[in-house]
Amino acid sequence: MKSLKRAGGFTLIELMIVVAIIGILAAIAYPSYQSSVRKGNRASATAFMSEVANKQQQYLQDARQYALGAGFLGTLSLTAPTDVTKYYALSVLPAAATTPPSFTIVATPTGGQVLDGCLSLDNLGAKIRTAAIDCTGTNLGW
């Protein structure tokens, strides 16, 4: 009698188990990856906001006021990096000069960064991160 030889390879059940394990691992890893990307984007934005605050202090020495309004980056001779502008809209408040001079730099998240919340940095160095749903500044007194 001829003996039956078993063919080499994987069975369908073994392949399905491997696919299921890969799916479970991906479901766990992807949210963690997204969180890490958001943290990296936030770090880029806060570093640039600190650079803007330093330039604001230098500008105050020369002009006796802070650079305010929509063109504040141009006034400070700064260009926001693309990794910041891609995920945050930058603005400076108040829109007009105050006595004593003050400013608050606000980074409002856009796109996939919205879950992160708004970032702000004022002339006293106070850094605040608000909830993702509260980017109006009402709780910060802007």
Range of the domain at 82: 12-129
Task: Provide the CATH number for the domain around residue 92.
Answer: 3.30.540
- Render pLDDT for 70-128 as a digit per residue (tens, 0 to 9): 889 999 999 999 999 999 999 998 877 888 899 999 999 998 888 888 999 999 989 98
Distances (CA, A) of 94 to 32, 42, 70: 37, 23, 11
Is residue 4 domain-resident? Answer: no
Is residue 41 domain-resident? Answer: yes
| The model's pTM | 0.78
Split into its structural domains, the chain has a count of: 1
